[in-house]
Amino acid sequence: MKLSRLWRKPSARLAAAALSIAVSQHVQAAWQTLGAGQLETPHNDLVELSTASGARVRLTLLDAGTARIRIAPNGVFGRDFSYAIATQPKPVPLSVEHDDRANTVTLRASGKESMRVVVTLKPSVRVDVYDSAGELFLADDPAREMVFDPVSGAVQVSKQRAATELYYGFGEKAMPMSRDQRFMTMWNSDTPAYLPGADPIYQSIPFFISLLHGKSYGVFFDNTYRSYFDMGATDPARYTFGAAGGELDYYVFTGGRERSAANVLRSYTALTGRGSLPPLWALGYQQSRYSYTPDSQVREVAKTFREKKIPADVIYLDIGYMEGYRIFTWSKKDFPEPEKLLADLKNEGFRAVTIVDPGVKVDDDYAVYRDGRQRGAFTRTAKGDEMHATVWPGLCAFPDFTSPDTRAWFGSLYEKFLDQGVAGFWNDMNEPGVFLNADSDEPPMQHDPKKTFPLSTRHFGDGDPGDHARYHNVYGMQMARATYEGLRKLRPDSRPLVLTRAGYAGIQRFSAVWTGDNDATWDHLAMTIPMLTNLSVSGVPFVGADVGGFVETPSAELYTRWLQAAALTPFFRTHSAIDTEPREPWSFGADYEKINRESIELRYRMLPYLYTAFAAEEMDGEPVMRPLWFDYPHDVKTYLREDEFLAGRDILVAPILHSGETKRRVYFPNGDAWIDWWSGKRYAGGQEKEIEAPLNRLPLFVRAGASVATQPVVQSTNEMANVPLTITVALGTDGTGTLYQDAGDGYAYRNGETRRSTFTLKGKTLHIETNGPSRFQKIAFVEFAGADAAPSSVTIDGKTTNDFHFDATTRRIRVAVSNNTKEIELH
């Protein structure tokens, strides 16, 4: 099924459902408008309004391009605390103008070029936002005023919408690239084998980036209750967002004077945090199954990877490794010597990652449960009893991860596994998901409300107690936080690998994210690009989807194409369900094994480039995997392109996403030329071309002018330190590229223990500037891609060299260099 057809049917159903939900909300809610506003005495860094309804409005600017609008329906602002915010920013001083005749209050950052927030006071409070050039880009809809329900606590605001305005982000949604005219719910849900268009699923990130005529802005609605976004589904003239409770608390990011998506994301991640640089081994290929059991099967998988010389770094242990599914235990029968197993794996270049669920079996003979109960670490019912529900171990209690004491306790439980040699941890079932009563005579529902905690369940809320309706969406994130902070404390000199299924805005500070229990279908393969790129522009850089689909068994062709498509995604893992056929790269026969090996080898060749992209993300928020529109906002043909993506800034990936295809149309973004990675053929930007793509070929292109670091194939990242680097330079236009290097683990890089190389191409001359110690991988070759003929001569730092070779098939000139080479010139 073509992706353009993929969304059609589910979207129609969802649109009808969205309309029904929106109507029912308006019918059931006793909506009340804010009414006229009255300016209170402004402070140096905030403006506060009282309103006729008793609600209060507070406005601040975090900088010249970021505003915060906060409405307390009951007139009392709660504590200024958010699980999403990395560090609470200090508002900047304001310049405030009160125009009595126009009934407006205007605020801007004092003494600098700034955005403007204009508040109309009568007949009801309305907020409009202008960029620093004076352009209105965000306006409350006067026909749909800000409202709240004093009985239920619901809040809602509507904004005017341009007909062609598109929206991206919203975290993890099984939806098309742009989420315009979609209705979305933020409520973390265990949704196995979700269909295209299914909503909600595992993650809730209420942040989006708008794109209209090449300009962007961003909105982050920081509300942990069940919330919703109607982005023109009910009425294309407006979009609406709101929540079942809490404050109407949202941030607006202008994206600087140029209103760029990159600046929006930079501001958003400055607020909510950026993903830390992962350990290098976590970027290698990862193999998983539910479940590799017993330990002999784990050993066999590891042995086969090495015998067949298929690179891999990580093997996962799903719930089958435990004793009766009790977390932090090993099955005495199936894993009698875990330390020896883990040591042997390490000797073969493998790290092990184990799954850890939140459910703690209610068992007085189980030390983790006894300790948690004694500490009062578990969530409570509304009556104050320990809340129990059934998951894999049977009846379970659940840590209250909104308590700092509980997070610290839970984090300490990882010590034994770390001591035994486990390298990383995988948090699952943390939406939180629980099992339904198997004997129930009620119809099965994908989003049955009983698949999670009762909404009346009590949480500590980091000192602000509340019910599960308020804290549901942050439960999984706080579990990942407990894991991450525990690992940082226990192993302060190692970078943690934490993987989570559920999260909220800011999850990138603690964990990688994968897209949950996907299905072994071509539809799900096609969905990975819009899902992962939208997660990426939601501030979550370390993302991936289970290769081959978790549920059901893929065909050999599907698995092979999926492995190709995923080879340059940030998180690269095959995973499969217990009732499916084997899903290792060699499982489909020798012909497919060869192709699958090459796909994984491509990943390892590109690791220096990918690692550099991760370093850039931590520094300035640039996503590692990104949609085409992100870098080409003035090319409207990129806006809805969801069958291609950029890996970093310089690599265009155009995988095959449909059965039986051996060629495809590739669109080359306008503004750059592109060089075919394999053939060296040049394609001008702004055009679509048909590209050959036999089963063993991933269509891959490098941006002209770019310089991309690669390496020879290694069997694990442990071998990288001793292999030389090649810098591939794409000829055709001037440009720059970078290489980032550090120890691959630990935090010395934050104290300057790094090496950064900059490559500047001018015509046919490459200038290399390097800063930092020389102990990292050495540059041994430079390859100029896209060359039409062999050069007559080559000079290195002004001296002629004969140590070069031209390959007419790939149109590459390979030049041997030293690690200290400063200039290479082709003649």
C-alpha distance from residue 358 to each of 325, 434, 435, 451, 602 (Å): 11, 10, 13, 14, 36
Residue 676: active-site member:
no
Please say whether the beta carbons of 484 and 512 come within 8 A: no
Handedness of CA 429, 432, 437, 440 (dihedral sign): negative
Catalytic site residue from 431, 601, 618, 635 = 431
Cis peptide bond prior to 404, omega within 30° of 0: no
Tokens 């056929």 found at:
581
Distance CA 77, CA 297 (A): 57
Q: Which of 277, 332, 317, 358 is nearest to 614 (CA)?
A: 277
Residue 448: active-site member:
no
Distance CA 18, CA 14 (A): 6
How many helices (H) and strands (E) the chain has is answered by 14, 53
Residues 6+ apart with CB under 8 A from 646: 625, 626, 627, 628, 630, 631, 652, 653
C-alpha distance from residue 646 to each of 76, 384, 568, 624, 625 (Å): 46, 51, 9, 8, 6
Distance CA 538, CA 603 (A): 24
C-alpha distance from residue 455 to each of 152, 320, 465, 708 (Å): 14, 31, 13, 51
Q: Side-chain half-sphere of 56: how many Cα atoms within 13 Å?
A: 11
Distance CA 34, CA 804 (A): 73
Catalytic site residue from 357, 517, 617, 650 = 517
Please say whether the beta carbons of 683 and 689 come within 8 A: yes
The one-letter amino acid code at 333 reads: K
Residue 517: active-site member:
yes
Distance CA 122, CA 38 (A): 9
C-alpha distance from residue 618 to each of 358, 613, 646, 749 (Å): 29, 9, 18, 12
Distance CA 8, CA 14 (A): 10
Distance CA 552, CA 518 (A): 9
Q: Report the DSSP pairing between strands 360-361 and 203-204.
A: unpaired
Handedness of CA 263, 264, 269, 272 (dihedral sign): positive
Residue 491 CB burial class (10 angstroms; 0-12, 13-18, ≥19): middle
Distance CA 827, CA 818 (A): 20
Handedness of CA 265, 271, 272, 273 (dihedral sign): positive
Q: State the Cα torsion 303-306-311-317 to the nearest 10°.
A: 10
Catalytic site residue from 145, 149, 247, 428 = 428
Token representation of residue 739: 């290489």
Q: Which residues are catalytic?
A: 428, 431, 517
